[in-house]
Amino acid sequence: MKILTGAIRADAGRILIRGETRDVRSPAAARRAGLLPVYQEPALIPDLDVRSNLRLTGTPVEPFRAWVRELGIPNLDIRETARDIPLAVLRVLDLARALAVEPDVLLLDEMTAALPANLAEKVLEVVRRQGDSGRSVVFISHRFVEISALCDRATVLRDGATVGVVDIGPGVEEKIVEMMLGARIEKTSVAAARMANETPVAKTATRGFRCATCSSAPNCTTSPSISPTARWPGSSRLRARARTSSSRRLPARSGRPAARSPSMVRR
């Protein structure tokens, strides 16, 4: 996102907006090109009031006010200092400031993460209308329900690199998760395993897990299955002791009589 908006210089590639190549070397150049970001952290200067923040970016006040009301905040005082405004409201103000200049491309980073349900619903509705009106929206989120409701396609990044681009449609969620994890997901039925008196096992080895058969490292050749109950060595033994301790007498220590179990104390 910072590469697209000129905060970080790109090593390669090019930026095209409406088919025209744009040379974006700074956030100001990105703004002139029609690229407007809304970062995950509030971008208003905390020691200035809202009006002064708008003046710094050349944002028209009346369109800004209209968008603030549209986004669910009817009574904003633009003379209020930014540091005195709640985080959720600051996020909405950043979005309203971007919308007020009618950008060609709107970049939103985890826009709804800090919002209550009522404001998040308003934001999603406004963003959806932006896409319907012909503007491009890059919507960065880890919430698949929002991605499926807003987006036409998804680009999946892992370890800083693009690993796939998919069109949003029925059944695409599992494919996206597989691209995110870098491994195929194999579904297992825990209920069926219990009925067969077997221990459920995970099909993908994970660092730190131990072999279900011999309790050795994940690369063991004895069994390719990894037991989720063996994540911490000895955890099963600890649980077994916890279950049986209340029904056994503790051994005598230093010549003192043996302690009675909780059940005997109650009697």
Shared domain check, 137 and 22: yes
Shared domain check, 168 and 139: no
- The string of pLDDT tens digits covering residues 204-257 is 333 443 444 444 444 444 444 333 333 334 433 334 333 433 444 444 554 555
Q: What is the pLDDT of residue 187?
A: 55
Question: Beta strand pairing status for 136-140 and 105-109?
Answer: parallel
Closest CA to 65 of 54, 81, 52, 56: 54
Q: How far is CA 216 from each of CA 137, 176, 199, 225, 240, rounded to the nearest angstrom?
A: 49, 32, 17, 12, 21
Shared domain check, 162 and 48: no
The backbone torsions φ and ψ at residue 153, rounded to the nearest 5 degrees and listed phi first, read -150, 160
Specify if 222 maps to a domain. Answer: yes
Shared domain check, 160 and 143: no
Specify if 121 maps to a domain. Answer: yes
Q: What is the pLDDT of residue 107?
A: 93
Whether residue 111 is predicted with pLDDT greater than 60 in this model: the reply is yes
User: What percentage of residues in the chain have a pLDDT greater than 90?
Assistant: 33
Whether residue 191 is predicted with pLDDT greater than 70 in this model: the reply is no
Strands lying side by side in the sheet with 136-140: 35-38, 105-109, 136-140
Q: What are residue 267's DSSP bridge partners? A: none
Give the C-alpha separation, 267 to 265, whole Å: 5
- The string of pLDDT tens digits covering residues 47-61 is 999 999 999 989 999
Shared domain check, 167 and 129: no
Specify if 193 maps to a domain. Answer: no
Range of the domain at 159: 153-185
Give the C-alpha separation, 57 to 98, whole Å: 10
Yes or no: say if 138 and 68 are a contact pair by the CB < 8 Å rule: no
